[in-house]
A and B are shown apart, each in its own frame.
Chain A
Amino acid sequence: MDQQLTDLMQEELDGALEETGRRRLRAAIRQDPRAGVSYEQLRSLFESLSSLSRVDPPEDLEMRVLAGIRGEVPESRAGAAVPATESWFRRLLPLAAGLALGVLLHSLLVTVTGPGHLPLSSGTLLDPGATQPLSALEPQVISSGDLEGRVRLHAGITAAALEIEVNSESSLQIDLRFDGSRVRFLGFSQTSNRLQLAESREDGIHLRVDAPVHLRLDLGREAEAEVVLRLLLYPESNPVTVTLEWPAGQEIG
């Protein structure tokens, strides 16, 4: 396609083309049907660009910036070496105050409530030895009829992550909370080819999926706190609550 002609098309679609140019464009489209097709494709592209979905900023962005302005929080990871989750985790530290720091993480308690209790064994903690920087739990298999998933918990040098992979034939809603508060989805990816619906509400992000899900929870560097994660997995007609309790004292990083 002639560049001058596509420039005319773009100018027209930007609403900036003057009458002379518009006449030239119309004439070109009349003379060559391919130009008309190209124009329609460009118009579609412009529409798609303008209707790209907006993403909700993190809920705590404002708090983090303002805290930084007051000198409470150093600059973010992109500019300095401080983990971005530090302020988030600071709020958890009071939780840890009463907990014995020397107690080693020795088990993961997995309880399941709701209709149809699931027979789950306790998780197994892998020794975070010198050669193994990550402490990790053996994948847990959760199954209840049409629900099947794997739960893994591991901690890295600067972050711990809870990864949940769920496979289900039916629609699920997933609601992940931390200590009664919404857990931010710091990274989220999903195989999209069977996406049904994702909703963002005031009380959290609710996802309806029938595809594998990968969620990540960044716990930051200072993780000497009791961590209770409640993962709610509920098929529309068969709610199931999975509670993961992570005892205190596990030092990460």
Chain B
Amino acid sequence: MAEIEDWQLIRDFQAGKNEAFAVILKRYERPIFNLVYGMVNHYEDARDLSQQIFAKAARKIGQFDPSHRLFSWLYRIAINETLNFLERTQRFEGVEDRQFAGPEDPEKQYMRHEFEVHLRNALSRLAPQYRALILLKHFEGCSYREISSVLGIPESTVKSRLFTGRRYLWEDLHRKGLLQRHGPATH
């Protein structure tokens, strides 16, 4: 069966069919949750923020411009809500030492896990605006244009900020000697 288009789901939801929003949720809860988790590095906060983001999306669905893509609109809400949250709490707790499933052998998984913790910590040290760009690019696989659409900034700004953020990240890891010690190229 063909997948129902986002615009159709939105129309159904606006017509009072809550189950249409359930489909939207199923479609986007994982990327949104992971984006938020990548930003806040805290599972409970990511859960609560994701709930808040989808609740807001449901409330404001009438404001969605159908000429844009739904994921861009959801990502924009997600980024804005998360940046507001981070600004409000100004929290930095380091990265949860959360474990992730993986098919690798234990030693390889351990190495990957260790580097990932360092990487997430380095990401946490970046200004949230840079962090958001990097996560959208690498974690969500967005193009410059899509990021531009999500954040409402010109593509040239996306590029320059993305480059700056990644350079800071690279320099941070480099200073700590982590690129040589743990980088995937050395595995």
Q: Is the CB of B119 within 8 A of A40?
A: no
Contact B51 A76 (CB under 8 A): yes
Question: Is the beta-carbon distance between A66 and B33 smaller than 8 angstroms?
Answer: no
Number of residues on chain A facing chain B (CB within 8 A):
57
Q: A55-B43, A189-B96, A189-B97 are in contact. Are A76 and B21 (CB under 8 A)?
A: no
In the assembled complex, which residues on chain B have CB atoms less than 8 Å from the CB atom of A3? Answer: 167
CA distance A69 to B18 in the complex (A): 8
Interface membership of A52, Cβ < 8 A? yes
- A52 adjacent to B55 (CB under 8 Å): no
The residue that B44 contacts in the complex, of A11, A84, A197, with Cβ under 8 A, is A84
A53 touching B110, Cβ below 8 Å: no
Using a CB–CB distance below 8 Å, which chain B residues touch chain A? 18, 21-22, 25-26, 29-30, 33-34, 37-38, 43-52, 54-55, 58, 81, 85, 96-102, 106, 109-110, 113-117, 119-120, 134, 137-139, 141, 144, 159, 162-163, 166-167, 169-170, 173-174, 179-180, 183-185
B47, chain A: closest CB distance, angstroms: 5
The majority secondary structure among interface residues of chain A is mixed
CB distance from B59 to the nearest CB of A (A): 8
New A-B pairs, 15, CB < 8 Å, besides A45-B169, A84-B48: A3-B167, A51-B184, A57-B33, A61-B29, A61-B47, A69-B58, A75-B52, A77-B48, A79-B48, A186-B44, A187-B96, A192-B114, A195-B106, A199-B101, A218-B44
A interface residue numbers (CB < 8 A to B): 3, 6-7, 10-11, 14, 16, 40-58, 61-62, 64-66, 68-70, 75-79, 84, 185-193, 195-200, 207, 218
Residues of B within 8 A of A198 (CB): 99-101
What's the nearest-Cβ distance from chain A to residue B74, in Å?
Answer: 12
**At the interface, is chain B mostly helix, strand, loop or mixed?**
helix
Return B65 CB to nearest CB of chain A, in Å. 21
B98 touches A189 (CB 8 A): yes
A47 to B116, CA, bound (A): 11
- The answer, among B45, B113, B120, for a CB contact under 8 Å with A192, is B113
Q: Is the CB of A43 within 8 A of B185?
A: yes
Asked whether A61 lies within 8 Å of B50 as measured between CB atoms, the reply is: yes
